[in-house]
Amino acid sequence: MKRRTFLAGAAGAACSICFGKGQPAYGMGKPLKQHKEPFKISLAQWSLHRRLRGRQQPALDNLDFAQASRQFGIEAIEYVNAFFKDKASDKKYLAEMKKRADDNGVQSRLIMCDGEGGVGDPDSQKRRQTIENHYKWVDAAKYLGCFGIRVNAYSEGTYDQQAELAADGLRGIGEYAAGQNIVVMVENHGKLSSNPQWLLGVIRQVGMPNVGILPDFGNFPPEIDRYDAVGQFMPYAKAVSAKSYDFDQQGNETKIDYQRMMKIVVAGGYSSYVGIEYEGERLSENDGIAATKRLLERTRRQLYV
C-alpha cells in the first residue's frame, strides 16, 4: 500500500534553507572524488507504516519510533503526521517524542504532512484554510528540532492554473515557516507534482529560499525518466527520499539503479541525509529497511574515494 493510497483511504543548519549548488549528473561516469562521506542516512517513518498500524508484527507505537531507528543503526528520523495526527498541538505528547529522540541520541529531521487540504485548492477560502492547517505542523517541527516539513502541492484545473494556485498556497505556508526558520518541501507525490517541469515551475514561481523540493526516487509515472527528473530537482533539494521496493540476490534494488541515482544526488551538491523509505511487500518492513541501508552504505563506499 503506497503512502498516498493509504492517506486517501484514511481520509539543519542555517545553510539548509539555501538552494543546493552544483549541476545535476545524468550518467554513470567515473566515481566522484570526495573528501568526506558524500551523504548520511536517515529513516522515514513510512517505512514502518504496517507495524505502526498494527498490521505487521512486532507492532510499533509512534513514541517508540526513535528507539526503533537505533535498532537499525540509524540516528536521524523523518516523521509522518498520520501517526500522531491529533497531537500536533499537544505539547505534553510532543515533549515525550522529543525526550525519547534525545534519550536515544536521534536527530529529528522533518515531518511529512498529509491530509491537511489542497495547497492549491481553487477555492480561495479552502486554500487559506489549508495554509493555516499547516501552521501547527510548522510549530511542531520547530519544537521537535526538525529543520522542515514536507507538503503536497495538489490542485485542480488546467496545468497553468494548478501551478499558480499551488505556488500561492506554498507561498503562504512558506511565509509562516520562514518566521520559524523552518523549510517547506514539496515531494513528487502524484498528480502534477510527479511532473518535473510542472513542479520546478511552481517552486520558481514561489521564489522563496525556504521553499524547495524533496525528491523521491519513486512516485514517477512510466513516461518520466526518474534519473533525469531527480537531476533536475537537485538544485532545489532540501532533503532526499530513497524509495525502495525489492532487492535481487546481489542486494541491488530491482527498480532503481542506486549507484546511478546517488551519483546524481551527490553531483547535485547534496551531502546531507538521505531518508530510507521502504515500500515493498515481499520483505518484512524490518528486513526491507535493513536491505536499503546496506545498499546505501555500499553505494556510499563506492562514492567515497
> 226: closest CA among 193, 256, 199, 246?
256
Ordered alpha helix ranges (H), 134-256: 135-144, 159-179, 196-206, 226-233
Share of the chain above pLDDT 70, in %: 88
> 95: closest CA among 134, 145, 54, 58?
145
Using the predicted structure, report yes or no on whether residue 20 has a pLDDT greater than 60: no
- pLDDT, one tens digit per residue, over 93-125 is 999 999 999 999 999 999 999 999 999 999 999
CA distance 80 to 114: 8
pLDDT value at residue 305: 62
pLDDT value at residue 211: 98
What are the structural domain ranges in the chain?
Answer: 3-13+35-303
Cα radius of gyration rounded to whole Å, the chain: 18
Cα 8 to Cα 85, 184, 266: the distances in Å are 14, 22, 33
- pLDDT, one tens digit per residue, over 21-69 is 333 332 333 444 545 789 999 999 999 999 999 999 999 999 999 999 9
Using the predicted structure, report yes or no on whether residue 11 has a pLDDT greater than 60: no
DSSP designation for 270 = -
Is domain 3-13+35-303 annotated with CATH 3.20.20.150? yes
Q: Stretch 171-193: mean pLDDT, rounded?
A: 98
DSSP designation for 253 = B
